[in-house]
Structure 1
Amino acid sequence: MSKYSKDNENIKGKRMSDWKTVKIGDICEQINGVSYKPADVYDSLNENATVLLRANNIFEDKLNYDELVFVDKKRVSDIQYMKKGDILICASSGSKHLVGKAACLSEDKELTFGAFCKVLRPKTVNPEFIKHYFFSPSYRTEISRLSEGANINNIKAADLDNLTLPLPTESEQKKIAKQLDKCIKIINNQKRSLEKYDLLIKSRFIEMFGDNKYPKISISEMIEGKVPSAKKLFNKTDEIKYIDISSVDNKINEIVGYTEYIFEEAPSRAQQHIRKNDILISTVRPNLKNIAINRLDYKETVASSGFCVLRPKCVPEYLFVAVLQDKFTSDMVAVTTGANYPAIKDSDVLNYEISNPPLKLQQQFAAFVQQIDKSKFAVQKSLEKTETLYKSLMQQYFA
């Protein structure tokens, strides 16, 4: 019997059925985010400003510190400064898939958060235990149910407070938190291994094709042309697999999920029909790093209009890694337009010039990528197994 199994049996032996059911509002304090105007924003952090987090700073159940806002401290009340153990939740978004995503602040930092977010501050519950509830399938299912049919994609304060979960004793909370944290640690290590493989691929790309060794051509010359409109290919009742920004894991640059719809019920953004080996580049900030190659071999796959889709006529692996380079992303950030919704145009991508090495070298590089992908596949399978265990434990504890 594994260590996880023994720990789980010990916890189950405590008669989980005896755990009391509590409301989130009884064990956590709910705090609203900071409202501010453009005049309250600074270009950089200084003695008059503090870091403000937004929904885009919540990714994969963790906080990232990209695309930060620096807001005047005068706009922030004492209670709106975050504390270690706080749960930051996206409370309002243009996409229902983003509403409810959450992350826990695991360290002491001077931070606040915007008005489209809320913070739940643990009062009478172990913070290390309760954070896992907000990553659980039970929580996501309930949030999806609450947002069904809503015209505005947000979570009401009362809905958050009325969420319920089974609550074990304080000592059991600590044991469960420790067990789940072990799973998370393994998952994070496996993800870091995948990131290292990706860095190895990028390094090989620079070694083979960097320093302007070969003439440059525009990306438009390396692709077949505009991908077809999904509206022309599907009937209203056809079942489709829809890919949007949240479907792309920008740590491993892969599509990690999709949402199934009847075509007529899919979001209006579901406009582009894609096929295997198409490359998807997000055109909206702060998601320009969301770049993926489609390995799904489904004829009914549809992508959001928020992607520029490239259909390579060159070697797909070569073009894919070319647009993964940091220079490409930084150059795209530099040409974004729009004050409220900064974005790049498809033409910005298509007119971008990259090296055009001989086909034989592209194929050699693709062979190297494919070898690395075999190693990545083994790690990915192990990661999926650990993630399945983690989800199973959360379903058991929080359902």
Structure 2
Amino acid sequence: MKNLSTSWAEVSLGEICEFKYGKSLPELKRTGGNIPVFGSNGIIGQHNEAITDGSTIVIGRKGSLGEVNFSNVSCWPIDTTYYIDKSATDTELKWLAYQLSGLGLTKLNKAAAVPGLNREDAYRQRLLLPPLEEQKRIAEVLDRAEEIRSKRREAIAQLDFLTQAIFIEMFGDPVLNGWAMETIAEIVHPSNGSIRTGPFGSQLLHSEFVEEGVAVLGIDNAVANEFRWGERRFISELKYRGLKRYTVSPGDVIITIMGTCGRCAVVPDSIPVAINTKHLCCITLNQDKCLPRFLHAYFLLHPIARQYLNQTEKGAIMAGLNMGIIKSMPIFIPPLSLQKEFAHRVEAVEKLKAAHRASLSELDALFASLQHRAFRGEL
């Protein structure tokens, strides 16, 4: 295919658009109208007034710096953002939005304490500028591809809602069902250390991590409310011998208690030998009373659990958790047969989600390739 980019001018971003500053709009002043209010990472509310003219690109300036969002309608970007509407560029806005998302603006942080994007740094980024009609054609092609990705993401979200619906249908009213209330401390395995955090202070230093060995689990393994491998961390076999009491086993439930608090995951059967860090509370259950999948769903979904966390002194999710709070959490115990049925149904949903995620991963890779080719004039 002919490479059209040979006839495209190379320009700096600052030559073709202006990053306008968003305007402060505190939550209390938002009226709840039909105008979307954008923060650095997307829509954060609604208002009855807009400050942009028509379709708008919103770029994160503070916090989620460099993140690119697109509004099809006039909107109100707040003061943690920049924005581009038709008054700030002569290019096709949707094409420019796709171009910005591929420029790596998220890597241009210049603020030490709070991540921030300096627009002069952004303006220096170089790109190829196709004619306006070609910009529109590229935007249409990428829109069609993005629509497919969006439908896959929506299907995954619907499966999440399905899990919630199954849980509420089966376990929504413990009083009506006459189930006994206990505490987390009463349903753990009778062995010592069934509720534990990881090693503190000098017990485990960052400098002691090695390239391979015994895995070390942290917040990133539970932050999605399901177990995922994030950053890989290891300690040596020799170091592990002194930290064996922090070993994590298949079926353990891990809860984040520092940083992003209140996230929860079940450790899979495929876990290698591993320990958890001090950022996690690890629970080994008495599975003759409570199954891991039930506790996981209860912690995240049931009103009793959510109300308990919000009413406890340190229970607000952003304020932090500790083992005492988790041990004292009330929990009703349905018959084990019901818990097993729930686990079986959730596992079926999880298999569907895994298939959709694999498909989405392939679509993401194809989209990235398509985007790369589009901006090189190879479509």
Give the equivalent residue in structure 1 for 2:55.
85
CA distance in 2, matches of 1:255, 1:21: 45
1:135 aligns with 2:101: yes
| Equivalent pair of 2:18/2:84 in contact (CA under 8 Å) | yes
CA drift at 1:35: 4.7
Q: Percent identity?
A: 20
Matches within 5 A, 1:107-122: 107-109=73-75, 111-114=76-79, 116-121=80-85, 122=88
Letter in 1 for 2:100: F
CA distance in 2, matches of 1:168, 1:241: 49
CA drift at 1:395: 3.0
**Gaps in structure 2 of 5+ consecutive residues:** 189-193, 236-245
Letter in 2 for 1:327: P
Q: What is the TM-score of this pair, normalised by structure 2? A: 0.72
Letter in 2 for 1:102: V
Letter in 1 for 2:72: S
Q: What is the TM-score of this pair, normalised by structure 1? A: 0.69
Corresponding residue to 1:100 among 63, 66, 71: 66
| Equivalent pair of 1:279/1:294 in contact (CA under 8 Å) | yes
CA drift at 1:254: 4.2
Change (3 A) 1:230 1:180: farther
**Gaps in structure 1 of 5+ consecutive residues:** 1-11, 74-79, 264-271
1:370 aligns with 2:335: no
Letter in 2 for 1:225: I
Matches within 5 A, 1:254-273: 254=226, 258-259=230-231
Letter in 1 for 2:181: K
Output one character per residue of 1:5-26: Cα deviation in whole Å (capped at 9) or x when no partner.
xxxxxxx535234322222222
Change (3 A) 1:69 1:217: farther
Letter in 1 for 2:5: M
Corresponding residue to 1:31 among 14, 17, 20: 20
How many residues of Structure 1 are paired with residues of Structure 2 in the alignment?
341
Letter in 2 for 1:101: E
| Equivalent pair of 1:209/1:355 in contact (CA under 8 Å) | no
Matches within 5 A, 1:236-275: 236=207, 237-239=209-211, 248=223, 253-254=225-226, 258-259=230-231
Corresponding residue to 1:229 among 188, 199, 211: 199
CA drift at 1:181: 1.2
Change (3 A) 1:209 1:155: same
Matches within 5 A, 1:157-236: 157-212=119-174, 213=177, 214-222=179-187, 224-229=194-199, 232-233=203-204, 236=207
Change (3 A) 1:43 1:153: closer
Matches within 5 A, 1:66-77: 68=45
CA distance in 2, matches of 1:69, 1:349: 36
Output one character per residue of 1:343-396: Cα deviation in whole Å (capped at 9) or x when no partner.
354455554323222333322221211122222222222111111111222233
Give the equivalent residue in structure 2 for 1:360.
337
Output one character per residue of 1:183-214: Cα deviation in whole Å (capped at 9) or x when no partner.
21111111221222222222221222221132
1:18 aligns with 2:3: no
| Equivalent pair of 1:280/1:294 in contact (CA under 8 Å) | no
RMSD of aligned C-alpha atoms? 4.2
